[in-house]
A = this chain, B = another copy of it.
Amino acid sequence: MLTRYNHSTRILIALDCIVFGFDGEELKLLLIKRDFEPERGKWSLMGGFLNEDEDLEVAANRILYDLTGLKDIYFEEIKTFGEINRDPVERTVSVCFFALINIHAHSQDAAKAQNAFWISLKDRPDLIFDHSNMVDLALERLRYRAALHPIGFELLPEKFTIPQLQKLYEAIYDTPLDRRNFSRKILSTKLLIDTGEKNENSATKKAILYKLDQEKYQKQFNAFHYFVSDFKV
């Protein structure tokens, strides 16, 4: 009986995560200002290595927890990056994923401990290694998925208004949307529950606060469509 495979190379496995947030106006990334080697002082994605005694999915959750203090974050694997020289220190294969969080609900202490900062997508700096490619792919995938599934809600607080939701979609697709058609389309999904409350922060007419119908969200995850001109990708 075999106990190991012979003639094969063991390689470091990393995980790198694109964390998206939304501040009400712009889509943002939670990036790390590195105060450790290699590439100290440069910007990178949050990442880590897969441990010997750890499932890949568990490792992803660990890395997200260390960054945000949150558990059960919504995330999707995007792609595994495996070019020979993508990491100049040592051959490393990286499993890349994106996560969506409520920008106001994570731990400031955790972010500080990782030296993490929210950066607008439009202002994003160069990132180390192939991390900029990862962000490009993550944004593309976010647009793809958000057009087909109601994952945008993961970026909003529990209670939100339709105009806030529209601003989110406009940020994701970097395009203006018609207020009236957007409202009709979103309401037709029956995913929103009127909380009876209104947005008291508004300086003009206060918009209705809705929350997500969690049961329908699960059921209709695959039935939701919000095409924005064939994804604009």
Identify whether the interface residues of A are mostly helix, strand, loop, or mixed: loop
- Enumerate A15-50 residues with CB–CB distance to B below 8 Å: 37-38, 49-50
Q: Does A95 contact B (CB under 8 A)?
A: yes
In the bound assembly, the distance between CA atoms of A93 and B93 in angstroms comes to 10
In the bound assembly, the distance between CA atoms of A10 and B82 in angstroms comes to 14
Q: Does A202 contact B (CB under 8 A)?
A: no
Stretch from A83-91, A116-124, A179-187, A193-201 forming part of the interface with B: A83-91
With a cutoff of 8 Å between Cβ atoms, the chain B residues found around residue A49 in the complex are: 5, 8-9
Query: What are 12 contact pairs spanning A and B, CB under 8 A?
Result: A3-B89, A5-B49, A5-B90, A9-B51, A9-B52, A10-B12, A56-B80, A56-B81, A56-B93, A59-B82, A80-B95, A223-B230
Closest to A8 in B: B49
Closest to A230 in B: B223
In the bound assembly, the distance between CA atoms of A10 and B10 in angstroms comes to 5
Chain B CB count within 10 A is highest, among A11, A77, A225, for: A11
Identical chains bound together, number: 2
In the bound assembly, the distance between CA atoms of A79 and B79 in angstroms comes to 7
Contacting pair B90 A13 (CB below 8 A) = no
Contacting pair A2 B82 (CB below 8 A) = no
With a cutoff of 8 Å between Cβ atoms, the chain B residues found around residue A230 in the complex are: 222-223, 225
Q: Which 4 A-B pairs have the closest CB atoms?
A: A56-B82, A10-B10, A9-B52, A8-B49
Q: Does A72 contact B (CB under 8 A)?
A: no
Contacting pair B84 A5 (CB below 8 A) = no
With a cutoff of 8 Å between Cβ atoms, the chain B residues found around residue A231 in the complex are: 222
Contacting pair B13 A89 (CB below 8 A) = no
With a cutoff of 8 Å between Cβ atoms, the chain B residues found around residue A4 in the complex are: 89-90
Q: Does A233 contact B (CB under 8 A)?
A: yes
Contacting pair B5 A92 (CB below 8 A) = yes
Q: Does A57 contact B (CB under 8 A)?
A: yes
Q: Does A178 contact B (CB under 8 A)?
A: no
Contacting pair B77 A55 (CB below 8 A) = no
